[in-house]
Structure 1
Amino acid sequence: MAKLFAPEPDQMSEHQRRVYDAIMAGPRGRVRGPLAVWLHRPGLAEHAQALGQYCRYDSSLPPRLSELAILTMAALWRSDFEWWAHQPIAVKAGITPEITECIRQGKTPVFVEQDEALVYEFIGSLVENRRVPDELYQRAVRLLDEPSVVDLVGLAGYYTLISMTLNVFDIQPPEGESRFFAHAHD
């Protein structure tokens, strides 16, 4: 059970309501998951949701690669909600269900597309080693370009914040939906 829910709209401060309305009017169209938690601190919610909107909708990365990066982050952080929310989007964007299942199971997928293999390796190295080797960085710049590498790092940072929020406040998929990762506290 989630530890913290969004404030009720009729109980929100003016700042909370302004942020809530901005989220509702944006491409997400709803307030859930980490955004609901962040509304308790509207200054955080305001800036985090703007960064999230950039990472999801305005990045130089094509949706296929950004969704692959998001799923990789969700698996590395074992974030059920994030997996539940993004796995269908990733498949729709062109990542095969077989690849998503390998990622969920912690297995390295066999990629056909070179840019997908690179994004998966880059995110894995960044999260597990807290950096990327020079050779991997140079390959990423050659294959994606520098602005896209900047966006990829920004996306990884944002989805670290998302995953931390989801895990600390135990935000799970809606009731009746599957959990995707085994958890030590279960």
Structure 2
Amino acid sequence: MSPRLPDFQPAAATGEQKAVLDEILSGPRGNLNGPFLGWIFSPQLAQHAQRLGAFCRYQTGLPLRLSELAILVTASRWQAQAEWYIHYPIALQAGLPADLAEAIRVGAEPAFVDTDDHLIYRFATELYETKRVSDATYRQAVDRFGHTVVVNLVGLLGYYALVAMTLNVFDMRAEGQQSLPFPE
């Protein structure tokens, strides 16, 4: 999985590591694809991060299409190979247009038809580019989604930035990944 980390041997896992792996495998993800075999070397981090991730992926209050759009914006900003590879097909299946995803991947300005797509993109892009979100974009997001979902959106963006950093630092690829969406 990673040329920078030792191969993880499940048979030699500690009790803490086994507990984390069991929770991930029995949860909504059902697999270890992504940063989990990197985080497993720190079982406490792995446990906290995977629980946060399950919340950010499945319980933010955003429709799956919009969550996946935010994840793709993050993957593109960090050029996280495995993150894009894993989430691109999920985003398409959730209804995100392929041409919009491709524009995000290459760093072009997407041509939005859906106003919610545009709002999530603008929110994430402003945050990544300026480290802030303008008053106008913030008000629009709160008016559309409410304070709780906006707080959750910030959490989702932060969580997937952590995922991207983990994947990039440890040069991790997704299961079965043969191609790279970003140049190295």
TM range (shorter): over 0.9
What is the Cα deviation at residue 112 of structure 1? 0.8
Q: Which runs of 5+ in 2 are unaligned?
A: none
What is the Cα deviation at residue 5 of structure 1? 5.3
In structure 1, the residue matched to 2:70 is 69
CA distance in structure 2 between the aligned counterparts of 1:25 and 1:88, rounded to whole angstroms? 22
2:123 corresponds to 1:119: no
Identity score, percent: 45
CA distance in structure 2 between the aligned counterparts of 1:140 and 1:152, rounded to whole angstroms? 10
Report if aligned partners of 1:68, 1:116 keep a CA contact under 8 Å in 2. Answer: yes
Partner of 1:164, secondary structure, is: helix
In structure 2, the residue matched to 1:104 is 105
Q: Which runs of 5+ in 1 are unaligned?
A: none
Report if aligned partners of 1:122, 1:136 keep a CA contact under 8 Å in 2. Answer: yes
In structure 2, the residue matched to 1:31 is 32
CA distance in structure 1 between the aligned counterparts of 2:164 and 2:49, rounded to whole angstroms? 13
Q: For the aligned residues, what is the CA RMSD?
A: 1.3
Q: Give the number of aligned pairs.
A: 183
Report if aligned partners of 2:72, 2:104 keep a CA contact under 8 Å in 1. Answer: yes
**Which one-letter code corresponds to 1:56 in the other structure?**
R
Is the alpha carbon distance of 1:20 and 1:179 closer, same or farther for their aligned partners in structure 2, counting shifts above 3 Å? same
Higher relative contact order by CA 8 Å / sep ≥ 6: 1 or 2? 2
Q: Deviations over 1:6-57 (max 9, x none)?
A: 6211111110111111111111111132111000000000000000000111
TM-score normalised to structure 1 length: 0.94
CA distance in structure 1 between the aligned counterparts of 2:7 and 2:129, rounded to whole angstroms? 32
CA distance in structure 2 between the aligned counterparts of 1:32 and 1:67, rounded to whole angstroms? 16
Report if aligned partners of 1:173, 1:179 keep a CA contact under 8 Å in 2. Answer: no
